[in-house]
Amino acid sequence: MNDTAHQWDDAYVGAPPWDVGRPQPAFVALADAGKLTGRVLDIGCGTGENTLLAATAGATATGIDISPRAIAKAQAKAAERGIDASFAVGDAMQLAEVGEVFDVVIDSGVFHSFDDDERARYIASLAAVLHPGGTYYALCFSDATPGDWGPRRIRRDEFYQAFTDGWTVEAVEPTKFEITQGNPIDQAYAWLATVARSGETPL
């Protein structure tokens, strides 16, 4: 593993602040609305709660994470709950290596972890795994969250600036991101972005 992978893997020795033991409410709402269907890829899936949510909603769900420790925990959850979902170690910057194309891609806390240069590379990587006509949903910290702890805060307009050629930003809606502060579950202000890859979905 490289240094970045080691850092993320070390976070899963315990429970990192973003691992709240259940799906993020923003993705639960998407599942309830029937939007997590078809082939779904969860990038940076951690211990798999959002992937397992998609699978129980009827999707063919795959989760990838750069942390082998997180993936092992996700696989154990799937086995314990009897849920059919796939998990693999993978790098968000090299999604073409997944070797599949998906109808929906979800991202809980990955987009806000990149600087500007990395962001451009990430979006190019996304294009390799999302069907034309497919949808990318990103949940990230918003600039309404006070303080400077935790990840980078994202302005609403940054999505429109980042996703241009080949993409259409359909919505950037305010929501909350559940995190743990110590033991209790707290909430940070967040955006849920809905971004379509331009073009028609192949028949």
pLDDT tier at 191 (50, 70, 90 boundaries)? very high
> What is the average per-residue pLDDT within 18-46?
96
Rounded distance, CA 97 to CA 95, Å?
5
What's the distance, Cα to Cα, between the start and end of the chain in Å? 39
The number of beta carbons lying within 10 Å of the beta carbon of residue 156 is 15
The alpha helices in the chain, defined as continuous H runs, are 3-11, 25-32, 49-56, 68-81, 116-127, 156-162
pLDDT tier at 162 (50, 70, 90 boundaries)? very high
Query: Residue 3: what pLDDT?
Result: 67
Which of 142, 136, 137 minimizes the C-alpha distance to 190? 142
Rounded distance, CA 172 to CA 100, Å?
27
Query: Residue 38: what pLDDT?
Result: 97
- Does the pLDDT value for residue 193 go beyond 90? yes
- DSSP string covering 12-68: TTS--TT--SS--HHHHHHHHTT-S-SEEEEET-TTSHHHHHHHHTT-EEEEEES-H
Provide, rounded to the nearest whole percent, the portion of the chain with pLDDT above 90: 77
Reported pTM: 0.93
Rounded distance, CA 151 to CA 8, Å?
13
pLDDT tier at 182 (50, 70, 90 boundaries)? low
Ordered domains of the chain (ranges, CATH) = 3-197 (3.40.50.150)
- Does the pLDDT value for residue 202 go beyond 60? no
- Does the pLDDT value for residue 160 go beyond 80? yes
> What is the average per-residue pLDDT within 185-197?
92
> What is the average per-residue pLDDT within 169-176?
97
pLDDT tier at 14 (50, 70, 90 boundaries)? confident
Q: What's the one-letter identity of residue 82?
A: G
Neighbouring residues of 42: CB distance < 8 A, sequence distance ≥ 6: 48, 50, 51, 54, 61, 62, 63, 64, 105, 106, 107, 108
